[in-house]
Structure 1
Amino acid sequence: MRFMVIVKANKDTEAGVMPSMELLTAMGNFNEEMVKAGVMQAGEGVHPTSKGTRIRYGDGAPAVTHGPFPLSSDLLAGFWLIETETRDEAIAWMKRAPFESGAEIEIRQIFAPEDFGDAFTPELREQEELMRAQLEK
């Protein structure tokens, strides 16, 4: 099972405050453990919303809004893509993440082709496989 782990933003990440050397070291060690265990597929921090843009789609032309955006629970500061056998295993790994007090993450399972049932036709499946092969190059 694949999961996206969303690291929620807070006032410090939105202000562009960089993590301490100690936290960066601890996070690097944690990431290294996940890589060696074959769990981590990707993981990055993202810049604050002051450097971001949102695009909202409606009936007319898409509306573009440049950040910063108000601090809310939907803002993110980073992410991981991980693969584990179960949701409980994903939770166990993330409980070990070296976050400071008050940090919050969200773990969301990523759709797999079989989740779409008959709507995911053989043609769509082939298209997906070709795209993934291109991405791996």
Structure 2
Amino acid sequence: MRFMMLMLPSAHCDALPDARPSADAVAKMMRFNKSLQEAGVLLALDGLHPPSAGVRVTTVNGKLKISDGPFAETREVVGGYWMIDVASRDEAIAWASRCPLTPGDTIEIRQVFEMSDFPADVRKAAEGFEELRAATG
């Protein structure tokens, strides 16, 4: 079962566009990342720039709206992610529980859809999705 663990760092909402984590924070996170890799469950991971450096593309009344960060209405933002492949939701929770969080940080765990989760008509509509996903690496 694949799960995405989303890091929601408490300080990321208000971080300046050029904000970077400290060397100590990165070293702690790298130990966690390596433990995921050594266990053979890590599929992908990355950290993200703060929302103040981001852009949102939305539609409002059928028209495209482009908004540069920071986003005033934002309370929680994704600061990074891990894609893991584990046997159960409980195992994903166990891995997230080992992450070196700072006070106020949150990890949200979301199971990734598999084609087998859908009825036949949805699988038919998604023909070619698996090949597309495989081609992206």
TM-score tier, shorter chain, comes to 0.7 to 0.9
Which residue pairs with 2:33 in the alignment? 31
The residue number in structure 2 matching 1:119 is 121
2:136 alignment partner in structure 1: 135
Distance verdict in 2 for CA 1:13–1:23, change over 3 Å: farther
RMSD over aligned Cα atoms:
2.0
Aligned residue type for 2:46: E
2:9 corresponds to 1:6: no
Could you list the runs of 5+ residues in structure 2 that have no partner in the other structure?
none
Letter in 1 for 2:14: E
Hey, what does 2:23 align to over in structure 1?
Answer: 21
Q: TM-score, normalised by structure 1?
A: 0.85
Identity across aligned pairs (percent)? Answer: 36
One-letter code aligned to 2:7: V
Please state how far the C-alpha of 1:98 moved relative to its aligned partner: 1.1
**Unmatched 5+ residue regions in structure 1?**
none
2:44 counterpart residue number: 42
Give the whole-Å Cα distance in 1 for the aligned partners of 2:22 and 2:81: 18
Look up the SS of the partner of 1:11 in the other structure. coil
Instruction: Check the 8 A contact 1:5/1:107 in 2, yes or no.
Output: yes
**1:76: how far off?**
1.4
Deviates more, 1:88-97 or 1:40-49: 40-49
Give per-residue Cα distances to partners, 1:82-120, cap 9 Å, x unaligned. Answer: 111100000001100011222111111111111121223
Normalized per residue, the structure richer in helix is 1
Query: Separation in 2 of the partners of 1:35 and 1:13?
Result: 29
Assess, with a 3 A threshold, how the Cα gap between structure 1 residues 75 and 93 changes in structure 2: closer, same or farther: same
Count of aligned pairs between the two proteins: 135
